[in-house]
Amino acid sequence: MGTPPARSILWRRLDRPGHEAARLLFQDPAWQLAGTAVFARDGEACCLDYVVMCDRAWRTTSAQVRGWLGDETIELDLAIDPARRWRLNGTEWPSVAGCLDLDLAFSPSTNSLPIRRLGLAPGEEALVRAAWLKFPELTLEPLEQVYRRIDATTYRYESAGGAFAAMLRTDADGFVIQYPELWEAYGQTH
């Protein structure tokens, strides 16, 4: 079996000025999700480059976020060991121990990770506990999420005990192409 081709996508933000491009690439033995988000935050320009590495089973193994918000430089390194202990810039975050997924608060790209990992059939749902990288705080906290697959391209997503819910439309690669009121895909390159 050959190496899966790289996949890419371009989104525009709906809630504020901004865009994001992401690329999913298999580099044996791991998956790499890399992207750049450029947007406005409280009147300041922000540019964030990220790389999330996952094993073959779509469990996050490491991540980097680099960029800036206004005059603040952002340099984050996440490392997850085999016991699922998470370290952010060398400091352990016990509150997210055991999490399989990273959720980048500023990006729709990381919704693809549990969608691909879970492989839900229509009508099935799963509870996920993700390590949520809050923005602009740049801290980690656990975020309980529920993914319920409605049909071939639609998932009901809930977080914070149902306080937040959205119907996510995806493409065949698991990229979110429509995230109501937040993100919409312009197009994709396969």
Q: Give 171-180 pLDDT, tens digit per residue.
A: 988 899 999 9
Across 54-65, average pLDDT: 96
- Closest CA relative to residue 166, chosen from 155, 153, 177, 150: 155
For residue 29, say if its preceding peptide bond is cis, omega within 30 degrees of 0: yes
Q: Give 66-104 pLDDT, tens digit per residue.
A: 999 999 999 999 999 999 999 999 999 999 999 999 999
Contact assessment for residue 97 and residue 84, using Cβ atoms and an 8 Å cutoff: yes
SS3 105: coil
Q: Compute the distance between CA of residue 86 and CA of residue 79 in angstroms, rounded to an integer.
A: 6
H or E segment and range at residue 45? strand 44-54
What's the predicted TM-score (pTM) here? 0.94
Instruction: Name the residue ranges covered by the structural domains of the chain.
Output: 7-185
pLDDT confidence band for 29 (50 / 70 / 90): confident
Across 114-124, average pLDDT: 96
Judged against a pLDDT cut of 70, whether residue 149 lies above it is answered with yes
